[in-house]
Structure 1
């Protein structure tokens, strides 16, 4: 048997062995499917760039100054669940998610994070101070802006901010 025949036989045997191994291994060609929550996060980050996904259900902006949670960790009836040291605003009445949260003092524009005109319920879980939810009127200098409602240590929750649903554009936290 010449060298060429031996090499052809060895190559054929190796090709057959590799084919058997390849068929026995699970395919890695298809990436895992995107979950509905991940699809929401991807769409939000595309619409409002500058955020960072920090876990499977949350994104943050401005190095954690604003955090948005897409789904609640718990199951069952919605309840005010703002973590201690934050004030939260919810996209639905009765504390329905998504939820935004802030803790900084002073004036903040909710449009920085795509949250303008979408607050329907609120929870203030801070040890002092208050926060006013403000509607932006027509003047670019904010001279005609006005307070819609306020939450504080003496009135921590509002499960329905009606008649001011989906009107808050800014917040001002008094520390």
Structure 2
């Protein structure tokens, strides 16, 4: 039976580290699915540090959009992260929030239909206030709606605050629906 875990929180709250620790506690050889598009040198350095932190026991997959191309049946996988994954849809769809949300939900459902343990990392970007930039507001809405969708499907939701894990939801699939 598949299991979905969502780890959310602010920037540098410890989300990725928590996801990796959790995956390693469940599997000796977890999978790391990186969704980032490398936009610049600073971001490439962040990615390099993440890769360095993980050991050779990890199988690494880089996939910017079509997670469902990868059948992870029987595996434990960290998908890092939903925010960067949604950025790729948002960019591809010319900032169309409705189309990006539709595409992301369909891809999420196709990807998680397999019997695996999925640990999704996401950001709470809407917690910092309302942006003056219309595009940023549209993306923040997209992120919030997708976080709600994944949380509604998740068996567990963990909020990271200053490196501390706070359990928001355990077992069951209650919450917001389509």
Instruction: Answer whether TM exceeds 0.5 for this pair.
Output: no
Higher RCO structure (Cα 8 Å, ≥6 apart): 2
Between structures 1 and 2, the one with greater strand share: 1
Between structures 1 and 2, the one with greater helix share: 2
Larger Rg: 1
